[in-house]
Structure 1
Amino acid sequence: MSAVADFAPEWLALREPADAEARADALLPPLLDRLAGVDRPVVRDLGCGTGSMVRWLAGRLPGPVRWVLHDRDPRLLALAAADLAADLGEVETRVGDLAGLGAAELEGTALVVASALLDLFTFEEMDALAAACVEAGCPALFALSVTGRVELDPADPLDGEYEAAFNAHQRRDGLLGPDAVAAAEEAFARRGARVLRAASPWRLDGRPALTAEWLRGWVGAAVEQRPDLADLGYLRRRLDACAAGGLRAVVHHADLLALPGEGR
């Protein structure tokens, strides 16, 4: 991948319940139809982190599954494997660049999944992954890709400035950022795949610790992109409101299911 991002296990654990609630259940029926009759399907989780996507998906797939976990961070892979193996049995790990998988490596794979990953790809990397999945006939489920829109209640006059700066930061160095869902949709559809999209908004109500940590990261990225946004008191106002229970946040995401060979 062109971007190198390190995620602390503590952050991944903090966000996991909100992730699980946000993921789009509406995409599961067509996915399960596609997997019907596949014996012990191989499912590859790209950028698995500590395994939250697998934990969410495992109870929704029928029968035994062979899980292959991919991540560039061997520490996270070890944590995921240790946690999942006891419950799921057959779990393999692969350390390496997530954007380098080709059709040959996906041969025999029944499903590729990823969560909160696509914004870290360039268009070329996303296009290559779509090509590999379609050539291998492998469906792909991409969850929780940011779309660039944040709703904060109550509103602040500076909300739009920080949102725009954050989105620009996400697009740095040619990364897709909030354009990732549209890019993936186009890349798969152009190759004849059926592509389904569903909203998966992150609703942070009642999660003050997660909201505060998200705010720090969101504002921090915006200020890195636009240093003139520093020292305006915005983050302190928002954190104070969060601590008082007076801030509601919705971070908009989308989930995408691509089914090669089913396009119209």
Structure 2
Amino acid sequence: MRGFDAAWLHLREPFDHAAREPASGALDLPGRLTRWRKRPPGEALAVIDLACGHGANLRALAPGLGGAQHWRLVDHDPVLLAAVPDALAQWARRREYRFMLTGDASDEQGIDIAGPDFHAKVVCHRLDLARDLASLDFGEMPLVTASALLDLVSVSWLQALIHQARAARAALLFGLTVDGRMAWSPTDPGDELVHGLFSQHQRRDKGFGPALGSQAAAVALQQMACADYKALQTCTDWVIDGALAPEMQRAMVEGMADAALEQDPAARDAVQCWKARRMAGIIGTRLRVGHVDIVATPA
């Protein structure tokens, strides 16, 4: 909604985690992955996290994956990558996990995190995924994961990713892909207009070619089937109660209004009126934003 700055990633992370909790109705996809690939004791699961931001996907998945893990966090933004060690250190401190920086100036600095049921070694890797995906070495039988990425990419980029992953016999776990569902309570007469313009804006080029937007999950499942993957999806919706999370509610209203105006400046009066009404009613408003998580394993 507000690009990929650290402030937005920090704001949305609690909603991402809540959406993926079994209590929300979501399936335990990391657990299904561990049952798919039984690792000998001590063998580490290699995990490649694409468009990692400040490491939220690792924080969501590592405890559930369990055992020894080697994470490679990949992003093009040096500012976000630089924020990873501190973000992981704070998370480890809250959870009472062991945390340690490894390496030195002459070596690749890494991060070592250990909890009761997992031990993750982490390195960060800067790469422009839009241009240089083909140069990324997947290794053999890794887990390739990403969060909130698929709706930003084009069908051709997604095809290339799945082809590259299949060649490496990789499993796939893509989280929090928007699917176009959005429900306000109470409703507003301007919802349909703003949602329509916002959906059109989601299909704009985000650097990977024409974005898939709300069609991303359906296209991903189709492309995975073509590549002989067995896939499973689960709903991981955000539920935003304005009384409990007014800042997130305001960010959603502002982000949707900005995107709608950028898509159709002629709709300014209607969009601004919608924004004013939504802002005034935040405390009494509840919003559900549809997302899905997808896990896929090679046949």
The answer to whether the superposition gives a TM-score over 0.5 is yes
Q: In structure 2, the residue corresponding to 1:65 is in which secondary structure?
A: strand
Moved more, 21-30 or 43-52: 21-30
Change in CA separation of 1:238 and 1:137 when aligned onto 2, cut-off 3 Å:
same
Q: Deviation at 1:6? A: 4.4
Distance 1:6 1:36 in 2: 38
How far did residue 103 of structure 1 move?
8.9
Greater C-alpha Rg: 2
In structure 2, C-alpha distance between the alignment counterparts of 1:92 and 1:259, rounded to whole Å = 24
Q: Is the 8 A contact 2:143 2:170 kept in 1?
A: yes
- Alignment gaps of 5+ in structure 1: none
The CA deviation at 1:28 is 2.7
Bigger share in strand: 2
- Residue 215 (structure 1) aligned with residue 253 (structure 2): yes
Aligned AA (1:78): A
Which one-letter code corresponds to 1:53 in the other structure? Answer: N
| Alignment match of 1:114 (pick from 129, 134, 146) | 146
2 CA distance for matches of 1:60 and 1:219?
Answer: 37
Contact 1:81 1:91 in 2 (8 A): no
Q: Secondary structure at the match of 1:218?
A: helix
Q: Distance in 2 between matches of 1:109 and 1:92?
A: 18
Q: Secondary structure at the match of 2:113?
A: helix
**Matched residue, 2:286:** 248
Give CA deviations for 1:13-53 in whole Å, capped at 9, x if unaligned: 11111000112443233211123215111111111111111
* Distance in structure 1 (CA, Å) of the matches to 2:37 and 2:254: 40
Residue 28 of structure 2 aligns to a residue in which SS? helix
- Alignment: residue pair count: 255
Pairing 1:109-258 to 2, within 5 Å after superposition = 109-173=141-205, 174-205=210-241, 206-232=244-270, 233-242=273-282, 245-258=283-296
Query: TM-score, normalization: structure 1?
Result: 0.91
| Structure 1 residue 78, shift from structure 2 partner | 1.3
Equivalent in 5, 8, 12 of residue 9 of structure 2 = 12
**What residue in structure 1 maps to residue 85 of structure 2?**
81
Q: TM-score, normalised by structure 2?
A: 0.81
Distance 2:141 2:86 in 1: 23
Cα RMSD of the aligned pairs, angstroms, is: 1.8
Q: Which runs of 5+ in 2 are unaligned?
A: 21-25, 89-110, 115-119
Over the matched positions of the two proteins, sequence identity in percent amounts to: 36
Question: Post-superposition, which runs of at least 4 consecutive aligned residues in structure 1 deviate over 6 A?
Answer: none
